[in-house]
Structure 1
Amino acid sequence: FESFIWTIPVILVLESTGSCITCGKVEYRIGDECCPMCLKGHHVHSHCTKFTSIPVCVLCIDSTFLDEPSGKTTCNNCTTCDPGLGLKVKQPCRPSSDTVCETLEGFYCLDPTKDGCRAAQRHSSCKPGQYISHTGTTSTDTVCSDCPGKTYSDGSLTSYQPHTECEFLEIEPGTPWLDSECGVASLPTAGFIAGVLIGVLFFLIASIAGVCLFMRRREMERREIMRTRQNLDPQIPKQASPDQEIPMLSGGTGKDSSPRHSQGLHIL
Protein backbone atom coordinates (compact mmCIF):
# COMPACT_ATOMS: atom_id res chain seq x y z
CA PHE A 1 0.00 0.00 0.00
CA GLU A 2 2.83 2.35 0.81
CA SER A 3 4.42 1.66 -2.57
CA PHE A 4 1.14 2.51 -4.27
CA ILE A 5 0.98 5.78 -2.42
CA TRP A 6 4.44 6.72 -3.67
CA THR A 7 3.46 5.76 -7.26
CA ILE A 8 0.72 8.34 -7.53
CA PRO A 9 3.00 11.37 -7.11
CA VAL A 10 5.42 9.93 -9.64
CA ILE A 11 2.63 9.56 -12.21
CA LEU A 12 1.42 13.11 -11.55
CA VAL A 13 4.96 14.42 -11.94
CA LEU A 14 5.38 12.58 -15.23
CA GLU A 15 2.05 13.92 -16.55
CA SER A 16 2.88 17.43 -15.51
CA THR A 17 6.27 17.08 -17.12
CA GLY A 18 4.62 15.92 -20.37
CA SER A 19 2.17 18.78 -20.31
CA CYS A 20 5.01 21.22 -20.03
CA ILE A 21 6.67 20.04 -23.24
CA THR A 22 7.08 23.00 -25.63
CA CYS A 23 7.49 22.36 -29.35
CA GLY A 24 9.49 24.56 -31.72
CA LYS A 25 8.05 27.04 -34.26
CA VAL A 26 8.20 24.52 -37.08
CA GLU A 27 6.91 21.63 -34.97
CA TYR A 28 3.49 20.54 -33.87
CA ARG A 29 2.53 18.50 -30.83
CA ILE A 30 0.87 15.15 -31.06
CA GLY A 31 0.48 13.45 -27.66
CA ASP A 32 3.78 13.67 -25.89
CA GLU A 33 5.70 14.06 -29.13
CA CYS A 34 6.77 17.11 -31.11
CA CYS A 35 6.69 16.34 -34.80
CA PRO A 36 8.16 18.48 -37.59
CA MET A 37 5.52 20.32 -39.60
CA CYS A 38 4.87 19.43 -43.21
CA LEU A 39 5.91 22.02 -45.79
CA LYS A 40 3.24 24.29 -47.28
CA GLY A 41 1.29 22.57 -49.99
CA HIS A 42 1.42 19.29 -47.99
CA HIS A 43 -0.66 17.74 -45.24
CA VAL A 44 0.19 15.06 -42.63
CA HIS A 45 -0.63 11.55 -43.75
CA SER A 46 0.71 9.88 -40.57
CA HIS A 47 2.25 11.45 -37.46
CA CYS A 48 5.66 10.83 -36.07
CA THR A 49 6.07 8.36 -33.18
CA LYS A 50 8.70 7.34 -30.70
CA PHE A 51 10.09 5.14 -33.41
CA THR A 52 9.74 7.56 -36.39
CA SER A 53 10.96 11.09 -35.84
CA ILE A 54 9.23 12.66 -38.84
CA PRO A 55 5.64 12.48 -40.09
CA VAL A 56 4.60 11.25 -43.51
CA CYS A 57 3.52 14.27 -45.62
CA VAL A 58 1.59 14.18 -48.94
CA LEU A 59 0.75 16.88 -51.54
CA CYS A 60 -2.60 18.71 -51.48
CA ILE A 61 -4.78 17.71 -54.42
CA ASP A 62 -8.31 18.17 -55.81
CA SER A 63 -8.58 21.97 -55.50
CA THR A 64 -7.15 22.10 -51.98
CA PHE A 65 -4.19 23.97 -50.56
CA LEU A 66 -2.12 24.82 -47.50
CA ASP A 67 -0.27 28.12 -47.77
CA GLU A 68 1.96 27.64 -44.70
CA PRO A 69 3.75 24.78 -42.89
CA SER A 70 1.41 22.90 -40.55
CA GLY A 71 0.58 19.63 -38.87
CA LYS A 72 -2.89 19.49 -40.43
CA THR A 73 -4.11 16.18 -41.74
CA THR A 74 -6.33 17.79 -44.39
CA CYS A 75 -5.88 20.70 -46.80
CA ASN A 76 -8.12 23.75 -47.15
CA ASN A 77 -10.61 24.01 -50.03
CA CYS A 78 -9.68 26.51 -52.72
CA THR A 79 -11.78 29.69 -52.98
CA THR A 80 -14.24 29.90 -55.88
CA CYS A 81 -14.42 33.21 -57.73
CA ASP A 82 -18.19 33.57 -58.12
CA PRO A 83 -19.26 35.71 -61.11
CA GLY A 84 -22.50 36.31 -59.25
CA LEU A 85 -20.45 38.22 -56.68
CA GLY A 86 -18.70 40.20 -59.40
CA LEU A 87 -15.50 38.13 -59.25
CA LYS A 88 -13.28 36.33 -61.73
CA VAL A 89 -10.06 34.33 -61.40
CA LYS A 90 -6.90 36.40 -61.30
CA GLN A 91 -4.58 33.57 -60.23
CA PRO A 92 -5.68 29.90 -60.14
CA CYS A 93 -5.43 27.79 -57.00
CA ARG A 94 -2.19 25.87 -56.35
CA PRO A 95 -1.31 23.32 -53.62
CA SER A 96 0.67 26.03 -51.81
CA SER A 97 -1.65 29.04 -52.46
CA ASP A 98 -5.34 29.81 -52.62
CA THR A 99 -7.20 31.17 -55.65
CA VAL A 100 -6.78 34.92 -56.14
CA CYS A 101 -9.94 36.68 -57.36
CA GLU A 102 -10.40 40.08 -58.94
CA THR A 103 -13.41 42.17 -59.88
CA LEU A 104 -15.33 41.84 -63.12
CA GLU A 105 -15.64 44.80 -65.48
CA GLY A 106 -18.15 47.25 -64.04
CA PHE A 107 -17.64 46.14 -60.41
CA TYR A 108 -15.63 47.47 -57.49
CA CYS A 109 -14.18 45.52 -54.55
CA LEU A 110 -15.96 45.52 -51.19
CA ASP A 111 -13.64 43.07 -49.36
CA PRO A 112 -10.08 43.48 -50.62
CA THR A 113 -7.28 41.03 -49.78
CA LYS A 114 -3.52 41.34 -50.07
CA ASP A 115 -3.48 40.29 -53.72
CA GLY A 116 -7.13 40.32 -54.78
CA CYS A 117 -10.73 40.59 -53.67
CA ARG A 118 -13.24 38.39 -51.83
CA ALA A 119 -16.47 40.27 -52.66
CA ALA A 120 -17.45 42.95 -55.18
CA GLN A 121 -20.42 45.09 -56.14
CA ARG A 122 -21.57 46.54 -59.43
CA HIS A 123 -20.87 50.22 -60.06
CA SER A 124 -23.79 52.54 -59.40
CA SER A 125 -25.73 53.80 -62.44
CA CYS A 126 -26.43 57.51 -62.70
CA LYS A 127 -30.04 58.55 -63.21
CA PRO A 128 -31.34 60.74 -66.06
CA GLY A 129 -30.58 64.30 -65.10
CA GLN A 130 -27.21 63.25 -63.63
CA TYR A 131 -23.78 62.85 -65.19
CA ILE A 132 -20.77 60.72 -64.19
CA SER A 133 -18.45 63.09 -62.36
CA HIS A 134 -16.04 60.29 -61.34
CA THR A 135 -15.88 57.01 -63.24
CA GLY A 136 -15.92 53.90 -61.08
CA THR A 137 -12.73 51.85 -60.67
CA THR A 138 -11.95 48.39 -59.29
CA SER A 139 -11.74 49.89 -55.81
CA THR A 140 -14.19 52.83 -55.89
CA ASP A 141 -17.82 53.26 -56.92
CA THR A 142 -19.12 55.63 -59.61
CA VAL A 143 -19.85 59.17 -58.41
CA CYS A 144 -22.93 60.89 -59.91
CA SER A 145 -23.68 64.63 -59.89
CA ASP A 146 -26.80 66.60 -60.84
CA CYS A 147 -26.78 68.62 -64.07
CA PRO A 148 -26.73 72.40 -63.51
CA GLY A 149 -29.21 74.78 -65.16
CA LYS A 150 -29.71 74.70 -68.95
CA THR A 151 -27.74 71.43 -69.27
CA TYR A 152 -28.76 67.80 -69.57
CA SER A 153 -27.51 64.20 -69.41
CA ASP A 154 -29.24 60.85 -69.78
CA GLY A 155 -27.13 59.38 -66.98
CA SER A 156 -24.51 57.75 -69.19
CA LEU A 157 -22.48 60.87 -70.04
CA THR A 158 -19.24 61.75 -68.28
CA SER A 159 -20.05 65.47 -68.59
CA TYR A 160 -23.25 67.48 -68.86
CA GLN A 161 -24.25 68.97 -72.22
CA PRO A 162 -25.75 72.46 -72.82
CA HIS A 163 -29.27 72.69 -74.19
CA THR A 164 -29.51 73.48 -77.89
CA GLU A 165 -30.58 77.06 -78.56
CA CYS A 166 -33.30 76.93 -81.21
CA GLU A 167 -32.81 79.49 -83.99
CA PHE A 168 -36.42 79.61 -85.18
CA LEU A 169 -38.89 77.60 -83.09
CA GLU A 170 -38.61 75.72 -79.78
CA ILE A 171 -41.16 72.90 -79.67
CA GLU A 172 -40.13 71.47 -76.29
CA PRO A 173 -37.88 73.22 -73.76
CA GLY A 174 -34.83 71.35 -72.49
CA THR A 175 -34.87 69.43 -69.19
CA PRO A 176 -32.04 68.09 -67.00
CA TRP A 177 -32.42 64.74 -68.80
CA LEU A 178 -33.40 65.82 -72.36
CA ASP A 179 -32.13 68.35 -74.89
CA SER A 180 -34.32 71.11 -76.33
CA GLU A 181 -36.51 70.09 -79.28
CA CYS A 182 -36.38 72.59 -82.11
CA GLY A 183 -38.95 72.92 -84.87
CA VAL A 184 -38.45 73.41 -88.60
CA ALA A 185 -41.96 74.71 -89.44
CA SER A 186 -40.70 78.27 -89.83
CA LEU A 187 -37.71 77.28 -91.91
CA PRO A 188 -37.97 77.51 -95.72
CA THR A 189 -38.89 74.04 -96.90
CA ALA A 190 -38.19 72.47 -100.27
CA GLY A 191 -41.86 72.85 -101.26
CA PHE A 192 -41.86 76.51 -100.29
CA ILE A 193 -38.69 77.20 -102.27
CA ALA A 194 -40.05 75.32 -105.27
CA GLY A 195 -43.28 77.33 -105.11
CA VAL A 196 -41.35 80.61 -105.05
CA LEU A 197 -39.24 79.57 -108.03
CA ILE A 198 -42.29 78.48 -110.02
CA GLY A 199 -44.00 81.77 -109.23
CA VAL A 200 -40.98 83.76 -110.37
CA LEU A 201 -40.80 81.67 -113.56
CA PHE A 202 -44.47 82.27 -114.36
CA PHE A 203 -44.00 85.99 -113.74
CA LEU A 204 -41.08 86.12 -116.15
CA ILE A 205 -42.99 84.15 -118.79
CA ALA A 206 -46.03 86.37 -118.38
CA SER A 207 -43.88 89.50 -118.61
CA ILE A 208 -42.17 88.30 -121.79
CA ALA A 209 -45.52 87.29 -123.28
CA GLY A 210 -46.97 90.69 -122.40
CA VAL A 211 -44.07 92.52 -124.04
CA CYS A 212 -44.36 90.36 -127.17
CA LEU A 213 -48.12 90.92 -127.32
CA PHE A 214 -47.66 94.67 -126.94
CA MET A 215 -45.07 94.81 -129.73
CA ARG A 216 -47.28 92.71 -132.01
CA ARG A 217 -50.22 95.00 -131.37
CA ARG A 218 -48.10 98.05 -132.15
CA GLU A 219 -46.99 96.39 -135.40
CA MET A 220 -50.57 95.61 -136.33
CA GLU A 221 -51.64 99.21 -135.60
CA ARG A 222 -48.79 100.53 -137.78
CA ARG A 223 -49.81 98.28 -140.65
CA GLU A 224 -53.45 99.31 -140.26
CA ILE A 225 -52.43 102.98 -140.51
CA MET A 226 -50.45 102.21 -143.71
CA ARG A 227 -53.42 100.47 -145.31
CA THR A 228 -55.69 103.36 -144.39
CA ARG A 229 -53.35 105.92 -145.97
CA GLN A 230 -53.01 103.83 -149.12
CA ASN A 231 -56.75 103.66 -149.44
CA LEU A 232 -57.03 107.41 -149.08
CA ASP A 233 -54.15 108.16 -151.46
CA PRO A 234 -53.52 105.42 -154.03
CA GLN A 235 -50.33 107.14 -155.17
CA ILE A 236 -48.66 106.26 -151.84
CA PRO A 237 -46.55 103.19 -152.54
CA LYS A 238 -46.68 100.16 -150.45
CA GLN A 239 -43.89 99.49 -148.05
CA ALA A 240 -40.81 98.68 -150.05
CA SER A 241 -37.79 96.79 -149.26
CA PRO A 242 -34.62 98.78 -148.50
CA ASP A 243 -32.99 97.90 -151.88
CA GLN A 244 -36.08 98.63 -153.99
CA GLU A 245 -36.20 101.95 -155.88
CA ILE A 246 -39.09 104.21 -155.10
CA PRO A 247 -40.82 105.45 -158.36
CA MET A 248 -41.22 109.14 -158.78
CA LEU A 249 -44.52 110.74 -159.54
CA SER A 250 -44.81 111.93 -163.20
CA GLY A 251 -46.64 115.10 -164.18
CA GLY A 252 -47.23 114.08 -167.85
CA THR A 253 -48.49 111.12 -169.80
CA GLY A 254 -45.66 108.97 -168.76
CA LYS A 255 -43.54 109.74 -171.80
CA ASP A 256 -41.63 112.47 -170.08
CA SER A 257 -38.88 110.75 -168.26
CA SER A 258 -37.46 113.85 -166.70
CA PRO A 259 -37.28 113.43 -162.99
CA ARG A 260 -39.41 115.54 -160.81
CA HIS A 261 -39.43 115.89 -157.11
CA SER A 262 -42.38 114.32 -155.44
CA GLN A 263 -44.48 116.50 -153.31
CA GLY A 264 -45.95 115.37 -150.11
CA LEU A 265 -44.52 111.80 -150.37
CA HIS A 266 -43.88 110.25 -146.99
CA ILE A 267 -42.72 106.71 -146.48
CA LEU A 268 -43.47 105.33 -143.11
Structure 2
Amino acid sequence: MLLAVFSVAVFMSSGLCCLPKEYEARDGQCCPMCHEGSVVKRDCTPQYGTRCISCVNGTFMNKPNGLNKCFPCASCDQGHGLLTQQTCTATTDTLCDVVSGYFCKAPMEDTGTGCSLAQKHRQCGPGYRTLQPGTSETDTVCESCPPGFFSPNGVNCTVWTTCSESEVEEKAGSTSSDVVCVASSRQYFPYLAGILPLLTVGVLFIKVKQASKKPRRTSSAKSSDPSD
Protein backbone atom coordinates (compact mmCIF):
# COMPACT_ATOMS: atom_id res chain seq x y z
CA MET A 1 0.00 0.00 0.00
CA LEU A 2 2.77 2.42 0.93
CA LEU A 3 4.57 1.56 -2.33
CA ALA A 4 1.49 2.48 -4.34
CA VAL A 5 1.15 5.84 -2.57
CA PHE A 6 4.83 6.55 -3.14
CA SER A 7 4.49 5.75 -6.87
CA VAL A 8 1.56 8.16 -7.24
CA ALA A 9 3.52 10.89 -5.47
CA VAL A 10 6.46 10.46 -7.87
CA PHE A 11 4.08 10.51 -10.85
CA MET A 12 2.48 13.78 -9.68
CA SER A 13 5.79 15.47 -8.97
CA SER A 14 7.27 14.56 -12.38
CA GLY A 15 5.16 17.17 -14.16
CA LEU A 16 2.83 14.66 -15.87
CA CYS A 17 -0.05 16.29 -13.98
CA CYS A 18 0.03 19.21 -16.44
CA LEU A 19 -2.91 19.51 -18.83
CA PRO A 20 -2.48 18.57 -22.51
CA LYS A 21 -2.00 22.23 -23.55
CA GLU A 22 0.44 22.93 -20.69
CA TYR A 23 4.12 22.28 -20.15
CA GLU A 24 6.26 21.95 -17.05
CA ALA A 25 8.37 25.03 -16.45
CA ARG A 26 11.83 24.95 -14.88
CA ASP A 27 10.43 25.74 -11.44
CA GLY A 28 8.07 22.74 -11.72
CA GLN A 29 4.82 24.63 -12.26
CA CYS A 30 2.53 24.03 -15.27
CA CYS A 31 2.44 26.84 -17.84
CA PRO A 32 0.28 27.31 -20.96
CA MET A 33 2.02 26.20 -24.16
CA CYS A 34 2.87 28.60 -26.98
CA HIS A 35 0.91 28.26 -30.22
CA GLU A 36 2.28 26.97 -33.52
CA GLY A 37 4.71 29.39 -35.12
CA SER A 38 6.06 30.57 -31.76
CA VAL A 39 8.16 29.38 -28.80
CA VAL A 40 8.58 30.32 -25.14
CA LYS A 41 10.46 33.52 -24.40
CA ARG A 42 9.62 33.51 -20.66
CA ASP A 43 7.85 30.97 -18.46
CA CYS A 44 4.63 31.88 -16.74
CA THR A 45 4.46 33.23 -13.18
CA PRO A 46 1.59 33.30 -10.65
CA GLN A 47 0.83 36.80 -11.95
CA TYR A 48 1.50 36.48 -15.72
CA GLY A 49 0.99 33.84 -18.38
CA THR A 50 3.62 32.36 -20.68
CA ARG A 51 5.33 34.92 -22.90
CA CYS A 52 5.87 33.64 -26.47
CA ILE A 53 7.94 34.88 -29.40
CA SER A 54 7.36 34.21 -33.10
CA CYS A 55 9.76 32.10 -35.15
CA VAL A 56 12.11 34.11 -37.34
CA ASN A 57 12.80 33.47 -41.05
CA GLY A 58 14.49 30.13 -41.63
CA THR A 59 12.82 28.52 -38.61
CA PHE A 60 9.40 27.07 -37.83
CA MET A 61 7.29 25.47 -35.12
CA ASN A 62 4.50 23.15 -36.24
CA LYS A 63 2.88 22.27 -32.88
CA PRO A 64 1.91 23.79 -29.50
CA ASN A 65 5.02 23.67 -27.33
CA GLY A 66 6.98 24.69 -24.30
CA LEU A 67 10.29 24.96 -26.16
CA ASN A 68 12.52 28.01 -26.29
CA LYS A 69 13.88 27.46 -29.84
CA CYS A 70 12.17 27.04 -33.19
CA PHE A 71 13.16 24.22 -35.56
CA PRO A 72 15.50 25.11 -38.47
CA CYS A 73 13.90 24.85 -41.90
CA ALA A 74 15.06 22.01 -44.13
CA SER A 75 17.16 22.76 -47.21
CA CYS A 76 16.40 21.08 -50.54
CA ASP A 77 19.79 20.47 -52.16
CA GLN A 78 19.40 20.04 -55.91
CA GLY A 79 22.93 18.65 -56.06
CA HIS A 80 21.65 15.71 -54.01
CA GLY A 81 18.51 15.18 -56.09
CA LEU A 82 16.08 17.41 -54.15
CA LEU A 83 14.02 20.43 -55.16
CA THR A 84 11.75 22.76 -53.20
CA GLN A 85 8.09 21.86 -53.56
CA GLN A 86 6.85 24.17 -50.78
CA THR A 87 8.81 26.90 -49.01
CA CYS A 88 9.18 27.05 -45.24
CA THR A 89 6.76 29.15 -43.13
CA ALA A 90 6.55 29.93 -39.42
CA THR A 91 4.28 26.90 -38.91
CA THR A 92 5.45 24.45 -41.62
CA ASP A 93 8.80 23.07 -42.68
CA THR A 94 10.16 23.18 -46.23
CA LEU A 95 8.67 20.44 -48.39
CA CYS A 96 11.19 18.80 -50.72
CA ASP A 97 10.57 16.61 -53.75
CA VAL A 98 12.98 14.64 -55.98
CA VAL A 99 14.34 15.80 -59.32
CA SER A 100 14.04 13.69 -62.46
CA GLY A 101 16.38 10.70 -62.42
CA TYR A 102 16.22 10.27 -58.62
CA PHE A 103 13.97 8.45 -56.17
CA CYS A 104 13.15 9.17 -52.52
CA LYS A 105 14.85 6.93 -49.96
CA ALA A 106 13.47 8.60 -46.83
CA PRO A 107 10.41 10.87 -46.27
CA MET A 108 10.63 13.96 -44.07
CA GLU A 109 10.44 12.98 -40.40
CA ASP A 110 8.00 15.59 -39.10
CA THR A 111 5.34 15.31 -41.80
CA GLY A 112 5.96 11.87 -43.28
CA THR A 113 5.56 13.48 -46.70
CA GLY A 114 8.02 15.06 -49.07
CA CYS A 115 11.57 13.73 -49.19
CA SER A 116 14.60 14.23 -46.99
CA LEU A 117 17.02 11.85 -48.78
CA ALA A 118 17.16 11.06 -52.50
CA GLN A 119 19.27 8.67 -54.55
CA LYS A 120 20.03 8.54 -58.26
CA HIS A 121 18.37 5.80 -60.28
CA ARG A 122 20.49 2.71 -60.92
CA GLN A 123 21.86 2.32 -64.45
CA CYS A 124 21.64 -1.26 -65.68
CA GLY A 125 25.03 -2.44 -66.93
CA PRO A 126 26.03 -4.58 -69.93
CA GLY A 127 24.47 -8.02 -69.79
CA TYR A 128 21.28 -6.66 -68.20
CA ARG A 129 18.07 -5.06 -69.39
CA THR A 130 15.79 -2.51 -67.72
CA LEU A 131 12.86 -4.50 -66.35
CA GLN A 132 11.16 -1.51 -64.64
CA PRO A 133 12.26 2.12 -65.10
CA GLY A 134 12.82 4.11 -61.91
CA THR A 135 10.16 6.47 -60.56
CA SER A 136 10.20 9.21 -57.92
CA GLU A 137 9.47 6.52 -55.30
CA THR A 138 11.27 3.41 -56.58
CA ASP A 139 14.68 2.59 -58.05
CA THR A 140 15.30 1.03 -61.47
CA VAL A 141 14.86 -2.76 -61.59
CA CYS A 142 17.41 -4.63 -63.72
CA GLU A 143 17.25 -8.19 -65.07
CA SER A 144 20.01 -10.37 -66.52
CA CYS A 145 19.71 -11.33 -70.19
CA PRO A 146 18.67 -14.98 -70.74
CA PRO A 147 20.96 -17.44 -72.62
CA GLY A 148 21.18 -16.63 -76.32
CA PHE A 149 20.62 -12.89 -75.79
CA PHE A 150 22.94 -9.94 -75.20
CA SER A 151 22.76 -6.31 -74.06
CA PRO A 152 25.74 -3.97 -74.56
CA ASN A 153 24.12 -0.94 -72.92
CA GLY A 154 21.81 -2.30 -70.21
CA VAL A 155 18.55 -1.30 -71.93
CA ASN A 156 17.19 -4.21 -73.97
CA CYS A 157 18.28 -7.81 -74.61
CA THR A 158 18.77 -8.80 -78.28
CA VAL A 159 19.00 -12.35 -79.65
CA TRP A 160 22.42 -13.50 -80.87
CA THR A 161 23.15 -13.35 -84.62
CA THR A 162 22.98 -16.72 -86.44
CA CYS A 163 25.86 -17.18 -88.89
CA SER A 164 24.85 -18.05 -92.49
CA GLU A 165 25.94 -21.19 -94.35
CA SER A 166 28.81 -19.29 -95.97
CA GLU A 167 30.07 -18.00 -92.61
CA VAL A 168 31.71 -19.44 -89.52
CA GLU A 169 31.52 -18.27 -85.92
CA GLU A 170 34.77 -16.49 -85.08
CA LYS A 171 33.71 -15.40 -81.57
CA ALA A 172 30.96 -16.81 -79.36
CA GLY A 173 28.25 -14.55 -78.00
CA SER A 174 27.90 -13.53 -74.35
CA THR A 175 25.33 -11.65 -72.27
CA SER A 176 27.05 -8.37 -73.23
CA SER A 177 28.23 -8.99 -76.82
CA ASP A 178 26.90 -10.56 -80.03
CA VAL A 179 28.25 -13.52 -82.00
CA VAL A 180 30.97 -12.54 -84.53
CA CYS A 181 30.66 -14.21 -87.94
CA VAL A 182 33.31 -14.27 -90.73
CA ALA A 183 33.30 -15.65 -94.27
CA SER A 184 34.27 -19.32 -94.52
CA SER A 185 37.42 -20.20 -96.58
CA ARG A 186 35.56 -23.20 -98.09
CA GLN A 187 33.37 -20.92 -100.14
CA TYR A 188 36.34 -20.07 -102.39
CA PHE A 189 36.97 -23.71 -103.46
CA PRO A 190 34.24 -23.87 -106.17
CA TYR A 191 35.63 -20.74 -107.79
CA LEU A 192 39.16 -22.14 -107.77
CA ALA A 193 37.92 -25.37 -109.35
CA GLY A 194 36.45 -23.40 -112.26
CA ILE A 195 39.47 -21.14 -112.73
CA LEU A 196 42.15 -23.86 -112.56
CA PRO A 197 41.51 -25.39 -116.06
CA LEU A 198 41.61 -21.91 -117.60
CA LEU A 199 44.91 -21.19 -115.92
CA THR A 200 46.33 -24.49 -117.19
CA VAL A 201 45.32 -23.75 -120.81
CA GLY A 202 46.79 -20.27 -120.50
CA VAL A 203 50.14 -21.57 -119.30
CA LEU A 204 50.35 -24.10 -122.15
CA PHE A 205 49.50 -21.39 -124.68
CA ILE A 206 52.30 -19.17 -123.39
CA LYS A 207 54.79 -22.02 -123.58
CA VAL A 208 53.83 -22.76 -127.22
CA LYS A 209 54.23 -19.10 -128.14
CA GLN A 210 57.64 -18.96 -126.54
CA ALA A 211 58.74 -22.13 -128.33
CA SER A 212 57.67 -20.79 -131.74
CA LYS A 213 59.84 -17.70 -131.33
CA LYS A 214 63.14 -19.65 -130.84
CA PRO A 215 65.54 -19.67 -133.99
CA ARG A 216 65.94 -22.95 -135.90
CA ARG A 217 69.36 -24.72 -135.93
CA THR A 218 71.39 -24.77 -139.35
CA SER A 219 73.80 -27.56 -140.57
CA SER A 220 77.47 -26.91 -139.80
CA ALA A 221 78.78 -29.15 -142.60
CA LYS A 222 80.08 -27.27 -145.77
CA SER A 223 79.53 -28.60 -149.31
CA SER A 224 82.69 -30.13 -151.07
CA ASP A 225 84.54 -28.20 -153.81
CA PRO A 226 83.60 -29.64 -157.33
CA SER A 227 86.99 -28.69 -158.73
CA ASP A 228 88.72 -31.36 -156.62
Bin of the TM-score, shorter chain as denominator length: 0.5 to 0.7
User: Which structure is higher in helix share?
Assistant: 1
Once residues 141 and 162 of structure 2 are traced to their aligned partners in structure 1, the CA distance between those partners, rounded to angstroms, is: 29
* Alignment-derived partner of residue 52 in structure 2: 57
Q: What is the count of residue pairs matched by the alignment?
A: 168
Once residues 182 and 43 of structure 1 are traced to their aligned partners in structure 2, the CA distance between those partners, rounded to angstroms, is: 77
Aligned partner letter, 1:134 = Q
1:105 equivalent in alignment to 2:100: yes
State percent identity of aligned pairs: 35
Once residues 171 and 92 of structure 1 are traced to their aligned partners in structure 2, the CA distance between those partners, rounded to angstroms, is: 63
* Alignment-derived partner of residue 38 in structure 2: 42
- RCO comparison, higher one (Cα < 8 Å, 6+): 2
1:152 positional shift: 2.0
1:49 positional shift: 1.6
Contact 1:170/1:180 (<8 A) preserved: no
Once residues 50 and 32 of structure 1 are traced to their aligned partners in structure 2, the CA distance between those partners, rounded to angstroms, is: 12
Aligned partner letter, 1:75 = C
* Alignment-derived partner of residue 9 in structure 1: none
Contact 2:129/2:143 (<8 A) preserved: yes
What are the within-5 Å matches in structure 2 for residues 64-213 of structure 1? 64-113=59-108, 114-157=112-155, 159-165=156-162, 174-179=173-178
1:39 positional shift: 0.8
Of structures 1 and 2, the larger Rg is shown by: 1
1:169 positional shift: 5.2
1:24 positional shift: 0.8
Contact 1:125/1:155 (<8 A) preserved: no
Once residues 117 and 20 of structure 1 are traced to their aligned partners in structure 2, the CA distance between those partners, rounded to angstroms, is: 37
TM-score under structure 1 length normalisation:
0.53
Once residues 171 and 102 of structure 1 are traced to their aligned partners in structure 2, the CA distance between those partners, rounded to angstroms, is: 52
TM-score under structure 2 length normalisation:
0.61
1:88 positional shift: 2.3
Secondary structure, in 3 states, of the residue corresponding to 1:139? coil
Ranges in structure 2 where 5+ consecutive residues have no aligned partner? 1-9, 184-228
Contact 1:108/1:140 (<8 A) preserved: yes
Once residues 120 and 140 of structure 1 are traced to their aligned partners in structure 2, the CA distance between those partners, rounded to angstroms, is: 10
Aligned partner letter, 2:34 = C
Contact 1:171/1:182 (<8 A) preserved: yes
User: Which structure is higher in strand share?
Assistant: 2
CA 1:172/1:67 → structure 2, altered by over 3 Å: closer, same or farther? Answer: farther
* Alignment-derived partner of residue 205 in structure 2: none
1:61 positional shift: 1.4
* Alignment-derived partner of residue 199 in structure 2: none
CA 1:170/1:91 → structure 2, altered by over 3 Å: closer, same or farther? Answer: farther
1:142 positional shift: 1.7
Contact 1:33/1:50 (<8 A) preserved: no
Contact 2:39/2:61 (<8 A) preserved: yes
Once residues 53 and 35 of structure 2 are traced to their aligned partners in structure 1, the CA distance between those partners, rounded to angstroms, is: 9
Ranges in structure 1 where 5+ consecutive residues have no aligned partner? 1-15, 185-268
Residue-by-residue CA offset, 1:90-131 (whole Å, 9 max, x unaligned): 222121111222223222222234112222222222111211
Secondary structure, in 3 states, of the residue corresponding to 2:96? strand
* Alignment-derived partner of residue 232 in structure 1: none
